[in-house]
Structure 1
C-alpha cells in the first residue's frame, strides 16, 4: 500500500502545505515542528521550519550584520532555524505583495524572497509587515518526502496565512494539530496504513 500512497503524493504537489511532524520524529531539527512547503516537484521539496526560533539571533542581529538601520523597531522579532541545509542563507516568507529580486509566489497569498532587498525594505519600514525570517531550509531529494510521509513521520495540512503569520511560533504545532482534529501526542509511532 505504501507504493500507492507514494504515487498519490507524487502526483500532487504539497507546495503551500504544512508538514506537521509526528511525535515519533526525533530529529532535533524537526521535533514538534511545523514546516511550510515552498516548493515540491518530482525532483524533491524545499520548506521552512516555522516554529524553532534561534535563542541567540533576532532580526536586529541580521540588520546589524547587513549594516541596516531599523526604522520600524523590528529588531526583537525572532529569526527561525528554517532547516539544516545552508544555514548561512536567509529566507523571508511573507504575504504576497512585496516583489523583490528573487521573490517566488508560493500560494495565492504567500511569497518567499531570498534576496537582501526584502530585508532592506523591512528595515526601512517599506517591506512586508508580517514576515517569517529564517536561516537555512529543509530539503528533500526526489521521493524522500513522499517516503517520510508514507512512513508516518509527517501529516500534511493545507497552508493558510492565519497559522503562518498570525499564530505565535510556540503555538503553531498545537494549533496545526487542532486543525487536524486530534491530539498528536496521543498517536502511536507505529500507526499503520489502510
Structure 2
C-alpha cells in the first residue's frame, strides 16, 4: 500500500530561491522546527541583527552587568512573527524550563536558557533568534510547489560551525547547487 501522507519538512532546511520577493525571506536559510497538516514553523538562521545577547540581558536583568562574552553572541532575526519573543536553537546536551527536543537538537523559549548562555553554563552550541517564521495549513506546500523554496537535509555544522554569511550557500551546495548561477527565470522555460 502506498503511503499517501504528504511529505513534511520537519528538521530540514529551507533555502530561499534567488527570485524570492518577500523581503522577510529573501536570501534566507530557515530551519523547519515543525511541519504538519496544521502548518509549519521555522527559524531563519542566517540573518543576524544589530542586537547581541548583552543588549537583551540589559533588559532582562537590568541590575546585573552582562559578561563581556555576551557582546559576541549575535541575535538573529528568526522571522516576522512574534519578533519580541526569543527562540534558542541549541544542542540537546542541556534542557531548560521550556525546551522541546528535536532530532538531536533542542528549542528553548524560556529566559533561563539565555541566562545560562550568559553565565557560561548553557548548551554546547546555540543560535538565538527573535521571532519565527510561520505558515498556515497548506501554505508552505503551495510555496514549494511554486518553486519559492528548495529543501535540503539539516546539517548542524551549517548552523553551529559556519559564519552566518556562509550558511545559505553551504546548504545549497549540499544539494550540488550554486545559488548564484540560478536566475529568477529558473523553472520558467
TM over 0.5: yes
Q: Is contact 1:104–1:113 with CA below 8 Å preserved after alignment? A: yes
Report matched runs for 1:8-157 at 5 Å. Answer: 11-54=6-49, 56-67=50-61, 68-71=64-67, 73-107=69-103, 109-157=104-152
Q: Give the gaps of 5 or more residues in structure 1.
A: 1-6
For 2:69 and 2:168, locate their aligned partners in 1 and report how far apart those are by CA, in whole Å. Answer: 28
Aligned-residue offset at 1:120? 1.4
For 1:98 and 1:12, locate their aligned partners in 2 and report how far apart those are by CA, in whole Å. Answer: 30
For 2:79 and 2:175, locate their aligned partners in 1 and report how far apart those are by CA, in whole Å. Answer: 24
Instruction: Identify the residue that residue 162 of structure 1 maps to in structure 2.
Output: 157
For 2:137 and 2:80, locate their aligned partners in 1 and report how far apart those are by CA, in whole Å. Answer: 17
- Coordinate RMSD, CA, aligned: 1.9
Aligned-residue offset at 1:79? 0.5
Aligned-residue offset at 1:15? 1.0
For 1:182 and 1:71, locate their aligned partners in 2 and report how far apart those are by CA, in whole Å. Answer: 41
Compute the TM-score of the two structures, normalised by the length of structure 1.
0.88
Q: Give the gaps of 5 or more residues in structure 2.
A: none
Partner SS, residue 151 of structure 2: strand
4+ runs deviating over 6 angstroms:
none
Compute the TM-score of the two structures, normalised by the length of structure 2.
0.90
For 2:68 and 2:14, locate their aligned partners in 1 and report how far apart those are by CA, in whole Å. Answer: 32
Aligned-residue offset at 1:151? 0.3
Matched length: 184
Partner SS, residue 177 of structure 1: helix
Q: Deviations over 1:134-164 (max 9, x none)?
A: 0000000000001101100000011011112
Aligned-residue offset at 1:124? 1.4
Aligned-residue offset at 1:44? 0.4
Aligned-residue offset at 1:71? 4.0
